[in-house]
Amino acid sequence: MAPGLLPALAWRVGLALLAALFLGLTLGGLAWWLFAATLGLLGYLVYSLWGLERWLRTGKRRSRAESDGVLGAIYADIMQLRQRARRRKKRFHRLLREVRDSTDAMHDGGVILNADMEIAWLNDAASRLLGLDPARDQGQHITNLVRHPDFVAYIEEAEFSEKLKMPGPRRNTHLSVQLIPYGNQQKLLIVQDITREVRLEHMRRDFVANVSHELRSPLTVIAGYLESLGDERSLDEVWRQPVAEMQRQVARMNSIVHDLITLSRLEAAERPAGQEPVDVPDMLDQLHREALTRRERPSELELRLETTARVRGEEQELHSVFSNLLNNALRFTPPEGRIECRWWQDEEGVHFSITDTGIGIPETLIPRITERFFRVDSGRAREVGGTGLGLAIVKHALLRHGGRLEIRSRPGEGSTFICHFPTARTVLPPPEAEAAAPSPG
Amino acid sequence: MDTADLGHHISSRFNEDLDRLRNSVLAMGGLVESQLQRAVEAVVRGDSELGLAVARDDQRVDRMEIEIDQACSRIIATRQPAAGDLRLIMAIIKAITDLERIGDEAEKIATLAARLATMERPADRYRELASLAGHVQEMLRAALDALARLDTRAAVETLAMDQAIDREYDSITRQCITFMMEDPRTISRVMNVTWVARSLERIGDHAKNICEYVIYMVHGRDVRHLDEQRVAREFAPGVVDGQG
């Protein structure tokens, strides 16, 4: 351990002054000797300081001047500081490496984006899934490298509450991405590989579609033979009833297959639906008229068209939405009940509601009612017919039109089904069409 | 690569304009990529609806081309860019033309897909076509990545991919001719297949052009119609020496 700066200095100054004093007294010219000693001391100090400066600049780890010399203590202090800094740096490095290793071990990709949506950092999985280069792509705008139009729209809309599914840059891969804003305008982009899930979903959908198609032709054959059997005069009276029942069941099976095909087509179709203006008021009017001609129907069946607004979309799909809802209401409402349909517009968009005084749905089951083949009361539902797929079709068709289905119901009192279509999907009919259209009633 | 450095302008608005321009070109590239991907999917899956949807969406590509074109003219008129900035804008004007052509080829493929979907499908489900399409998609992606990163090395590597695509196109054409000679009833279907392959091959050529613009943008050298080996030696030494 080197002595402190002051003792080292005092010792040297004392020695030099003593020597000057002795020489001055013995040889004479004391003042000159003292001056020479002070000058020498000054020179020595300047030399030492220059040495220190050089040592600091070159940053050599060990110096000959380390322990001896007047600045030994300062050298030692600096050495210690350096060592401490080195140790701290090592610790940070280790910590950083651990963090990096753990994020790299993650299956999900993570990309940190700054306020301008430029890449600030990414882990291994992200570079693999998105085809990014961690070394070079920092500072790149994320949509310059992840260019899928859906992703670009997702970033531009800045609405990150939902995940986005999109094809990955590598072939036949599918990704699910979500942006999570945090801190000071930074964003974390989470990327998941959902290729397997998408493939399974495709397989399931293809399977359902194929099975439905395969069932269709044998059903047609059976239905044909049953029909000629029913018309056969020589048929024994005992068999009349069973054949009629068989015909009914085949018809039901046919409609289930038909609905399954419709549903799988809706699911497989790319979102969103087309943009052709569909004259919904006219369609509702026709459905209403058809319903009025039924023999078994509730005594009151009303349609109120409060707007002539149309919806942009696919005519066929919208037709199945309204006809399914109307058929459901007709099915579950007793003859003395009443059904009221309404088509109206407000600032949020256009809406269709259908209110019945039917059996209603228990509140706990409302969220499940749009599931495939879900029945509130299985015995009864089968009695009144229906495929169990109607509301699933309604839900999917509405989703494709940017709309949603709202259900309010009370058991015993009746239900209200409301279809909401956003303003973006709404169009007013051209004026001449409005004038020419017969006033609905 | 400071020849193409966009980061040092006195006017930060100019910087923003250039950045936005680059972003929108790449967004257009992304749209074109997805058009191609969906068109190919329509062929492979025999999905006529998808094919028609893709053909319809081509207007979006056309609209973007016009928008970017106007933005470029505006920048030239108001900022009078020079050197690297001017090269960037010139390259972008050329690149969007190629992207628009790729969009047109994708539209053609999609229309053909809708037609093919109505015909009998071969047992191999157009495996060769799908493989060629995969390589073309890869090349287009690499070209756009090189454009985003201003990476001439990657651009040179991508240029070399075109040869493999040309070879694959040749072999598909030969195969198609064999099919048509063996069974004249397949001629109308196989003709459609050759047109799809032809469109894919053209897309490869357009992707190649985009790579050449990247080299032009960064180094200021026009490498169109130059010998590929020389280009490779000059701009990416040691990358493609063994190829060709």
pLDDT digits (tens, 9 = 90+) for A210-221: 888 889 889 999
Which of B141, B147, B151 to substitute to test the interface with A, most A CBs within 10 Å?
B141
Q: Which residues of B touch A151 (CB under 8 A)?
A: 30
B131 touches chain A (CB under 8 A): no
Q: Which residue has the tokens 């990358």?
A: B239
Residues in chain B: 244
Q: Sheet holding A174-182: strands in order across?
A: A119-122, A109-113, A186-193, A174-182, A164-167
Check CB contact under 8 Å for B149 and A171.
no
The whole model's pTM is what? 0.68
Cα separation of A240 and A231, whole Å?
10
pLDDT digits (tens, 9 = 90+) for A365-424: 888 888 888 877 766 655 666 788 889 999 989 988 888 899 998 888 889 999 999 988
**CA atoms A58, A63, A64, A70: torsion sign:** positive
Closest CB to B148 among A144, A151, A269: A144
Dig out the tokens for A218 from the structure. Answer: 């044998």
Cα separation of B197 and B199, whole Å?
5
Check CB contact under 8 Å for A167 and B27.
no
Phi, psi of A186 (to 5 degrees): -85, 160
pLDDT digits (tens, 9 = 90+) for A153-193: 888 888 888 888 888 888 788 999 999 988 888 889 999 99
The DSSP symbol for B118 reads T
Question: How far B34 CA sits from the closest chain A CA (Å)?
Answer: 6
B137 touches chain A (CB under 8 A): yes
Q: Which residues of B touch A152 (CB under 8 A)?
A: 27, 30
Q: Which residues are CB-neighbours of B140 under 8 A, at least 6 positions away?
A: B29, B32, B33, B36, B102, B203, B207
Q: What average pLDDT does the structure give for chain A?
A: 85
Which of A130, A171, A270 to substitute to test the interface with B, most B CBs within 10 Å?
A171
B23 touches chain A (CB under 8 A): yes
Regarding an ipTM greater than 0.90, the answer is no
Residues in chain A: 441
Q: Which residues of B touch A141 (CB under 8 A)?
A: 19, 22-23, 26
A154 touches chain B (CB under 8 A): no
- Judge contact between B116 and B43, C-beta under 8 A: yes
Q: Which residues of B touch A148 (CB under 8 A)?
A: 30, 33-34
Q: Which residues of B touch A131 (CB under 8 A)?
A: 141, 145
CA nearest neighbour of B98 among B197, B205, B23, B199: B205
Dig out the tokens for A376 from the structure. Answer: 């509130």
Closest residue in chain B to residue A206, using alpha carbons only: B45
Which H, E and C letters describe chain A, residue by residue? CCCCHHHHHHHHHHHHHHHHHHHHHHHCCHHHHHHHHHHHHHHHHHHHHHHHHHHHHHCCCCCCCCCCCCCHHHHHHHHHHHHHHHHHHHHHHHHHHHHHHHHHHCCCEEEEECCCCEEEEECHHHHHHHCCCCCCCCCCEHHHHCCCHHHHHHHHHCCCCCCEEEECCCCCCEEEEEEEEECCCEEEEEEEECHHHHHHHHHHHHHHHHHHHHHHHHHHHHHHHHHHHHHCCCCCHHHHHHHHHHHHHHHHHHHHHHHHHHHHHHHHCCCCCCCCEECHHHHHHHHHHHHHCCCCCCCEEEEEECCCCEEECCHHHHHHHHHHHHHHHHHHCCCCCEEEEEEEEECCEEEEEEEECCCCCCHHHHHHCCCCCCCCCHHHHHHCCCCCCHHHHHHHHHHHCCCEEEEEEECCCEEEEEEEEEHHHEECCCHHHHHHCCCCC
Per DSSP, the residues of B178-204 read: HHHHH-GGGHHHHHHHHHHHHHHHHHH
Q: Which residues of B touch A167 (CB under 8 A)?
A: 34, 37
Check CB contact under 8 Å for B22 and A144.
yes
C-beta neighbour count of A97 within 10 angstroms: 10
Which of B25, B145, B153 to substitute to test the interface with A, most A CBs within 10 Å?
B145
Question: Could you tell me whether strands A109-113 and A119-122 are parallel, antiparallel, or unpaired per DSSP bridges?
Answer: antiparallel
- The residue-averaged pLDDT of B42-52 equals 87
Residue pairs spanning A and B at CB distance below 8 A: 52
Check CB contact under 8 Å for B30 and A149.
yes
Instruction: Give the start-end residues of each E strand in B66-211.
Output: none
Confidence of residue B62 (pLDDT cuts 50, 70, 90): very high
Check CB contact under 8 Å for B30 and A270.
no
- Judge contact between B163 and B156, C-beta under 8 A: no
B15 touches chain A (CB under 8 A): no
The highest-confidence range among A325-334, B57-66, B220-229, by mean pLDDT, is: B57-66
Closest residue in chain A to residue B133, using alpha carbons only: A171
Confidence of residue A440 (pLDDT cuts 50, 70, 90): very low
pLDDT at A210: 87
Cα separation of A247 and A224, whole Å?
9
A341: amino acid identity, one letter: C
Residue B237 in 3-state DSSP?
coil
pLDDT at B16: 84
Which of A147, A264, A266 to substitute to test the interface with B, most B CBs within 10 Å?
A147
Cα separation of A311 and A402, whole Å?
11
Q: Which residues are CB-neighbours of A46 under 8 A, at least 6 positions away?
A: none
The architecture that CATH gives domain B10-235 is: Up-down Bundle (1.20)
CA-to-CA dists, residue B240 to B130, B145, B161, B182, B231, angstroms = 26, 18, 10, 40, 10
pLDDT at A284 over 90: yes
B151 touches chain A (CB under 8 A): yes
pLDDT at A63: 53
Question: Could you tell me whether strands A338-346 and A300-305 are parallel, antiparallel, or unpaired per DSSP bridges?
Answer: parallel
Which of B33, B92, B131, B152 to substitute to test the interface with A, most A CBs within 10 Å?
B33
Question: Could you tell me whether strands A414-422 and A404-410 are parallel, antiparallel, or unpaired per DSSP bridges?
Answer: antiparallel
Per-domain residue ranges of chain B? 10-235
Cα separation of A279 and A270, whole Å?
23
- The residue-averaged pLDDT of A192-206 equals 89
**How deeply is A39 buried, as exposed, middle or buried, from its count of CB atoms within 10 A (0-12, 13-18, 19+)?**
exposed
Check CB contact under 8 Å for B149 and A151.
no
**How deeply is A165 buried, as exposed, middle or buried, from its count of CB atoms within 10 A (0-12, 13-18, 19+)?**
middle
Question: Could you tell me whether strands A414-422 and A349-356 are parallel, antiparallel, or unpaired per DSSP bridges?
Answer: antiparallel
Check CB contact under 8 Å for B34 and A149.
yes
Check CB contact under 8 Å for B145 and A131.
yes
- Judge contact between B145 and A131, C-beta under 8 A: yes
Cα separation of B220 and B232, whole Å?
15
Q: Which residues of B touch A133 (CB under 8 A)?
A: 149
Closest residue in chain B to residue A171, using alpha carbons only: B134
Q: Which residues are CB-neighbours of A439 under 8 A, at least 6 positions away?
A: none
User: b/e string for A239-264 if b means 16 or more Cβ within 10 A?
Assistant: eeeebeebbeebeebbebbebbbbbb
Closest residue in chain B to residue A139, using alpha carbons only: B149
B64 touches chain A (CB under 8 A): no
pLDDT at A137 over 90: no
Question: What share of chain B has pLDDT > 90, as a percent?
Answer: 55
User: b/e string for A322-339 if b means 16 or more Cβ within 10 A?
Assistant: bbbbbebbbbbbeeebbb
Q: Which residues of A touch B50 (CB under 8 A)?
A: 270
A162 touches chain B (CB under 8 A): no
User: b/e string for B216-236 if b means 16 or more Cβ within 10 A?
Assistant: bbbbeeebeeeebeebbeebb
Check CB contact under 8 Å for B26 and A140.
no
* Better pLDDT: A237 or B26: B26
Cα separation of A110 and A128, whole Å?
11
pLDDT at B243 over 60: no
* Better pLDDT: A274 or A30: A30
